[in-house]
């Protein structure tokens, strides 16, 4: 998560990024498995964020 929409999303929903980063570090993500996270945006509105992993490794192409 370093450019464009990914960076904007990381900035707007920092808790989601931390949960996603932890799940990746613990190898708890896989293609087809949804990672659901509740987070607040900058306006303090709660959002349900659904993360859909599309890669098995950062350097591989999306499946």
The residues that are catalytic are 55
Residue 9, C-beta contacts closer than 8 angstroms, at least 6 positions apart: 1, 16, 17
Q: Give CA–CA dist 20/14, Å, rounded.
A: 10
């Amino acid at each position: 998560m370093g450019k464009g929409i990914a960076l904007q999303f990381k900035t707007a929903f920092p808790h989601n990024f931390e949960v996603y980063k932890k799940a990746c570090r613990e190898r708890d993500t896989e293609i087809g498995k949804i990672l659901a996270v509740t987070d607040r945006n900058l306006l303090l509105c709660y959002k349900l964020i659904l993360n859909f992993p599309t890669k098995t490794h950062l350097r591989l192409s999306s499946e």
